[in-house]
Amino acid sequence: MWSRIASRLLTSLVVAWASVTAAFLALHALPGRIEDILAGDVDYPGLREAIAAEWGLDRSLFEQYAAFVSRIAGGDLGTSYVLRQPVTEIVGSQLWPTVQLALAAGVLAVALAVSVALLTAGRGRRARKLASILELVLASTPVFWIGILLLMLFSFTLRWFPVSGANGWTSLVLPSIALALPTAGLLAQVLREAIEKTLDQPFVTTIRARGVGEFAIRARHVLRHALLPAVTLGGWLIGGLLGGAVITEKVFGRPGLGSVTLGAVLTHDVPVVLAVVLLAAFIHVAASTILDILYLLIDPRLRAA
């Protein structure tokens, strides 16, 4: 099992390198010279030359790439062309609010999905139907739309929660609900089906015969079995949560990687975009590695493999 994880880490290095190289080439193949973009609506003789010299844009593409790779290898992500701050500082300061949001939303989504699924799986037709319609609607509605409606109701009208910022837990409530709802909708459906399938298994009948209560059966035995597919989906949903965070942050005016990324791609801020690409690759790798380990913990049978 450890060799599997080790080889995954090795290939993930390759993936990270490939992502960054592709992004580097794409950014330089784009229309518009970077010095023109950085100059914007300002023009005077020598400005573009000075900008090009400042960021080393006057060197050949290969030299720029070599410099970039050796810098990355040394742990230096460079300086933002537009914000003129060290990229490590920019990304570092924005990482935590985004992670906080994604984590809160993830936990909330799982909690919602598990409780809804446990309560409705294999129960009365009407409850199930209602739950699955609700789940379907949530999973099929744009995140920003849910966010705006939540804001109008709970922040502007009822004034329960502040509109924005990253000050304390109250400002985290609405954004994480907005982000969690579509995810919870998807997760609950999958989970319920998994639970129902497990409920049909012979071992459940055995436990039932021993006189164990229905809730205990579900919470203690069935859930454990149904957890594996849910964990798999959970890993997949990390990506979805991070992507959704970009949009949610904009709706709620929260700091985070979303606004930094959006700004960077719009202004061709190459060093920042590349750092975000690297980070995305890293998160993907980390998430899948953790998932591998989780499988082994949840399902001992896999350890033999």
Partner 1 sequence: MNAPSRMPAAAPGEIAAAFPPGDLPGLDRLRASKPGRDWTSAPAFHLSALFLVALLIVAAVPSLFTGYDPLTGDFAEGLKPPSWAHLFGTDRLGRDVLARTLHGARYSLLIGLSGMAISVVAGVLLGILAGQQNRLLDEATSRIFDVLSSFPGVLLAMLVVTFLGQGMLNIAVAVGIAGIPKFGRVVRAQTQLVRDADYVTQAAIYGLGRRQVFLRHVLPNVLVAVPVIATVYIGSTILTVSGLSFLGLGPQPSTPEWGVMLAESRDVLRVAWWPAVFPGAAITLTVIAFSVVGGVLQKRFEGRLA
Partner 2 sequence: MRKFVSLLALAALSTAGLADAVRARSDAAQPRPGGSITWGVTTEPSCFDPHRSSQQAAFFVARNYIDSLVGKRADGSFAPWLATQWSIAPDGLTYTFTLREDVAFHDGETFDAAAVKANYDFVKKPENAATAASLLENFTGAEVVAPHVVRFTLSRPDSTFLESVSNVKLGLISPKALAKGDLCGGGPALAGTGPFVFERYVRGQSATFVRNKAYAWAPGYAAHHGPAYLDRFTFRFLPEYAVRTGALTSGQVDVIEGVQATDVSLFADQPDFTLLVGPSGASTSFTFNINYTRWPADDVRVRRALRDGFDPEPIVRQVYLGHVPRAWSIIGPANPAYNKALVGAWGNDIAGANRLLDEAGWTTRDAEGFRTKDGRRLRIDVGYPQPYVRDNREILIQGIQAALRKNIGLDLNLRIVTAGEYAKGNATGTWAIYPNTDNPSDPARELWDMLGSKGFLYTNVPHPDPEITGLIDEALQATDPTRKRALTDRIQALGVEKAFIVPLFAPSWFLAAKKRVRGLSFEAGLDSPSSAYDVWLEGA
- Which two structure tokens, joined as six digits, stand for 268? 């061709």
Minimal distance in Å, beta carbon 177 to partner 1? 18
Please, which residue, 47 or 207, has the CB nearer to partner 1?
Answer: 207
Does 97 engage in binding with partner 2 (CB under 8 A)? yes
Amino acid making up residue 95: L
By CB under 8 A, residue 64 contacts partner 2: no
Helix, strand, coil % (nearest 5) of the chain?
80, 0, 20
Token look-up 């789940």 returns: 135
- Closest contact distance (angstroms) between CB of 259 and partner 2 is 5
> Minimum distance between the CB of residue 211 and partner 1, rounded to whole angstroms?
27
**Closest listed residue to residue 87, CA positions, set 66, 106, 68:** 68
C-alpha span between 65 and 162 (Å, rounded) = 45
Residue 86, beta-bridge partner list: 79
**In angstroms, rounded to a whole number, what is the distance separating the alpha carbons of residues 85 and 265?**
16
Number of CB atoms found within 10 A of residue 79's CB: 17
- Minimum distance from CB of 65 to partner 2 (Å)? 19
In whole angstroms, what is the distance from residue 12 CA to residue 292 CA? Answer: 14
By CB under 8 A, tell whether 216 contacts partner 1. no
Nearer to partner 2, 155 or 176 (CB): 155
Closest CA to 75 of 65, 83, 86: 86
> In the range 228-287, which residues lie near partner 1 by CB under 8 A?
228-229, 231-233, 236, 239-244, 246-247, 250-251, 261-262, 265-266, 268, 273, 276-277, 280-281, 283-285
Cα distance between residue 200 and residue 202, in whole Å: 7
- Residue 31 touches partner 2, criterion: CB under 8 A: yes
Q: Which stretch binds partner 2 (CB under 8 A): 8-16, 60-68, 176-184, 251-259?
A: 251-259
Residue 163 sits in the site that holds partner 1 (CB under 8 A): no
| Contact residue for partner 1 among 53, 107, 133, 293 (CB under 8 A) | 133
Binding site for partner 2 (CB under 8 A): 30-33, 36-37, 39-44, 46-47, 49-51, 53-54, 79, 82-85, 89-90, 93-94, 97, 148, 151-152, 155-156, 159, 162-166, 249-256, 259-260, 263, 266-268
